[in-house]
Structure 1
Amino acid sequence: MTTTLITGANKGIGFETAKQLLAAGHDVWMAARDRERGEAAARELGGRFVQLDVTDDASVAAAVATVGALDVLVNNAGVPGPLDPVEAVTPDLVRPMFETNLFGVIRVTHAFLPLLEKSDRPVIVNVSSGLGSLHLATDPESIASQIIPLAYGAAKAGVNMATVQYAKGLPRFRVNCIDPGFTATDFNRHQGTQTVQEGAEAVVRLAQIGPDGPTGGFFDRAGSLPW
């Protein structure tokens, strides 16, 4: 059985990903920062709960010890960013965004690599965003070019680059990132135009790829995306 860990799995896309992967036969660890909410979510779906705060080294280390073995890591946990005018953006405003959305991915990935390296088919899926695509941000035809999320976009662009570098440095792994699209969740106060099932589609697909699957790519539910 494939053992999978999903960060930020108590709600939204993380919760739906856990639901679909459990239905597909995965043994799913549902990680959440808040113990009460995480345990409730795991009980509802029949997953296994592990407390994990992606910004805290001790919390991540404790999660590694609890999980013990791993085949698939889904770095889903993230926080939405402010849309302050660029002239108002300071390092102090950007730092919390990077701490969770980029450094959190690197912290969790680094900690779980020893477990993943023991797997016959190690997979990492990083939940990114089209707002982190340099191509889409500069394409007048893309909605991403009409939004100016300096802090959030910069952090997600970092996730994209980290994904490419992990894929190159870990050739036996399948490492990809996905854009879930504008999905109706708490993340955007349920203003998204996609259902949570549609938002989780690419995550679920890439979490189940085999050794001959793509690596070092950027995808959404329709296929490949430009960097």
Structure 2
Amino acid sequence: MKSVLITGANRSIGLETAKQLSNKGLFVYLGSRNLQKGKAVVAALNEKGFENITAIEIDVTKPDSILAAKKIIESEQGKLDILINNAGISGAMPQNALHTSIADIQEVFDTNFFGVISVTQAFLELLKKAQSPRISNITSGLGSLTLHSDPNWKYYNVKSVGYGTSKAALNAYTIVLAYDLKDLPFKVNAIDPGYTATDFNHHNGPGTIDSAVNFIIRHTLTDDDAPTGQFFSNDIDDETGVSPW
């Protein structure tokens, strides 16, 4: 049975991803900063018939928490097949380049960018033991420099000096990571679930959680000949879903 760790999975898109991957027969580690909240979520899922899901405490901004989670998965599984870096924060809004403080920007980067790097580096050892390891970095269309430079883009006016730039940095990291792992059977991609109505954005956005999660899973459970180092977006009106960087 393949195993997957999803950070920030106790609600919204992360939680629905955990449910759907469990239904597909994967063993799911439901990452949560607060273990008790995570356990409560899993207990509710168990009552609904979901199996092969366990809560695991992981705060992506705390190295000790990441290492402890890694040790648990290593002892229970011996490897990790899939890492979905889903944990993210938007930060206080609005965020403009003229007045948003360094502290506020850094807080967003600590989770959305540095947190992803910390978790990925910690779990690489276990991922390398998998036959077909996958790393999916959950990003946003707001991280596309190309689209943000186009006044005709429908979200052109949605600028954020913390959140948007942290996702642009995450996209850049994905490219480098995919390159550094290109000689191994990894598939590493940035996946934007689209502008989805969730708790994260106070239920704004035209997209549904089902559509968002289906898109994430489609570009995570991939074949050996699938692309790596790509940026896929559920908001792109194209069959491939490939987004400009």
Same fold, judged at TM 0.5 (above): yes
**1: CA distance, partners of 2:224 / 2:244:** 23
Alignment correspondent of 2:7: 7
Match in the other structure for 1:76: 86
Quote the offset at 1:201 in angstroms: 2.0
Q: Secondary structure at the match of 1:144?
A: coil
* Equivalent in the alignment of 2:65: 59
Report what 1:88 is aligned to: 99
Give the superposition deviation at 1:175.
0.0
Shift of 1:105: 0.4
Partner residue, 1:34: 34
Matched residue, 1:139: 150
User: Which residue matches 1:121?
Assistant: 132
Counterpart code for 1:201:
N
Residue range with higher mean Cα deviation, 186-195 or 120-129: 186-195
| CA–CA distance in structure 1, aligned partners of residues 221 and 198 of structure 2 | 23
1:189 pairs, out of 186, 202, 208, with 202
Give the structure 1 partner of residue 225 of structure 2: 212
Identity, in percent, stands at: 42
What is the number of equivalent residue pairs in this alignment?
227
- Normalized against structure 2, the TM-score is what? 0.89
1:152 is aligned, of 153, 157, 163, to 163
Q: Return the alpha-carbon distance in structure 2 between the equivalents of residues 27 and 214 of structure 1.
A: 24
Q: 2:110 aligns with which of 87, 90, 99?
A: 99
CA offsets, 1:144-199, max 9 Å, x none?
31111111111000100000001000012100011111111111011121111112
| Distance in 1 between residues matched to 2:151 and 2:202, nearest whole Å | 26
Aligned-partner residue type, residue 32 of structure 2: A
Distance (whole Å) between structure 2 residues aligned to residue 208 and residue 84 of structure 1: 35
User: Over aligned residues, Cα RMSD in angstroms?
Assistant: 1.2
Matched to 2:209, the amino acid is V
Q: 1:58: how far off? A: 0.2
Aligned letter for 1:60?
I
Q: CA–CA distance in 1 between the matches of 2:95 and 2:126?
A: 40
Tell me, yes or no, if structure 1 residue 48 matches structure 2 residue 61: no
Separation in structure 2 between the aligned mates of residue 200 and residue 28 of structure 1, nearest angstrom? 15
Alignment match of 1:203 (pick from 216, 220, 244): 216
1:203 Cα shift? 1.3
Cα separation, 2, equivalents of 1:144 and 1:168: 30
Three-state SS of the structure 1 residue aligned to 2:115 is helix
| CA shift for structure 1 position 49 | 1.0
1:37 to partner: Cα distance: 1.6
More helix by share: 1
Which has the higher mean CA deviation after the structures are superposed, 139-148 or 98-107? 139-148
Question: 2:181 aligned with 1:170, yes or no?
Answer: yes
Q: Distance in 2 between matches of 1:198 and 1:142?
A: 21
Runs of 4+ in 1 over 2 A off after TM superposition: none
